[in-house]
Amino acid sequence: MVMDTKHKASIIDGKAAALAVRDRLRQEVSALRDGRGIDPALAVILVGENPASKVYVRNKGRACEEAGIRSMQFTLGADTPQAELLSLIDKLNNSPDVHGILVQLPVPAHIDEGTVLEAISPQKDVDGFHPCNMGRLVAGAPLLAPCTPYGIMRLIETIGYDLGGKDAVIVGRSNIVGKPMALMLLHKNATVTVCHSRTKDLADKVRAADVVVAAIGKERFIKGDWIKEGAVVMDVGINRTTSGGLAGDVDFEGAASRASWITPVPGGVGPMTIAMLLENTVKAARLSMKGNV
């Protein structure tokens, strides 16, 4: 998936790649419904009033509808006791009509995120954050894999890039992006370095990378002259700029003058993250057919 560009780098068009996934899923969903009597459904739980979370939940609901996936949204007040949230998750775990369950993060401070994520049935854990799914990812046999790194792997596949023997540097070590990304790249035979806020000589590490994944949360933090000629650059960051736009964690202009492939922000990794959520939901619906729930 490539867009024309005046830069040296070809731009990886995440929007187009995501659209292709969603088109395919629409067909799979109707085949499941008509052929197997399964109506894939995703339950999204939002606790509190975080404005960004509300937008994410709304977008996920819309994406579901477009793919023909039933979407259910549960909005709980910011002071909802943890026990109440756990009881809702339990109900959804036991409902045969619900195939995927997602709790929008972050949850309010009085709720323990780990406890909540562990309460979701691993077969319905479409975010792939349950320790069981994380463990399976470590072992190289993921059931449901975290959407953002999963989407990045798909984008790398769409450009036909062989990761075997390549040096990959990930900046950021969160449980939702950096760590699972490292495992996925490792499984495809890249040599992986994971950097974080205590990493020494970060620029030099990035300069040595054939593949750079930036997941930091700081606008244009990775400078153009850190990028090795011909590198593949995957920018996960979503940062609101002072002018009201969005920018990634990479200085796009500088990096695009040296890289061979680069994802834009917006329109790169973000749309694929949502597409992988839909894909995981359809996968979870199939798992339910196998009587795993």
> What amino acid positions are annotated as catalytic residues?
60, 104, 127
Question: Segment near ligand NDP (CB under 6 A), from 123-131, 203-211, 225-233, 234-242?
Answer: 234-242
Nearer to ligand NDP, 108 or 266 (CB): 266
- Distance (Å, whole) CA 137 – CA 70: 27
Per CB under 6 A, 262 contacts ligand NDP: no
Report whether 144 contacts 133 (CB < 8 A).
yes
Among 83, 160, 165, 198, binds ligand NDP (CB under 6 A): 198
Per CB under 6 A, 177 contacts ligand NDP: yes
- Distance (Å, whole) CA 179 – CA 149: 9
Report whether 32 contacts 15 (CB < 8 A).
no
CA angle (106, 40, 35) in 5-degree steps: 165
Report whether 231 contacts 259 (CB < 8 A).
yes
| 88 φ, ψ (degrees, to nearest 5) | -65, -45
Nearer to ligand NDP, 119 or 182 (CB): 182
Query: In angstroms, what is the minimal distance from the CB of 263 to ligand NDP?
Result: 9
Q: Is 229 left (phi over 0), alpha (psi -120 to 50) or beta?
A: beta
Per CB under 6 A, 247 contacts ligand NDP: no
Q: Which segments of the chain are extended strands (E)?
A: 2-3, 10-12, 41-47, 70-76, 100-103, 167-171, 191-195, 211-214, 232-235, 239-240, 246-247, 261-262
Query: In angstroms, what is the minimal distance from the CB of 121 to ligand NDP?
Result: 23
Per CB under 6 A, 171 contacts ligand NDP: yes
Among 18, 216, 234, 276, binds ligand NDP (CB under 6 A): 216
Per CB under 6 A, 224 contacts ligand NDP: no
Question: Segment near ligand NDP (CB under 6 A), from 40-48, 161-169, 214-222, 277-285?
Answer: 214-222
Q: Which segments of 172-281 are extended strands (E)?
A: 191-195, 211-214, 232-235, 239-240, 246-247, 261-262
Per CB under 6 A, 93 contacts ligand NDP: no
Among 233, 269, 275, 282, binds ligand NDP (CB under 6 A): 269
Q: Which residues bind ligand NDP (CB under 6 A)?
A: 148, 171-174, 176-178, 195-199, 202, 215-218, 236-239, 269-270, 273
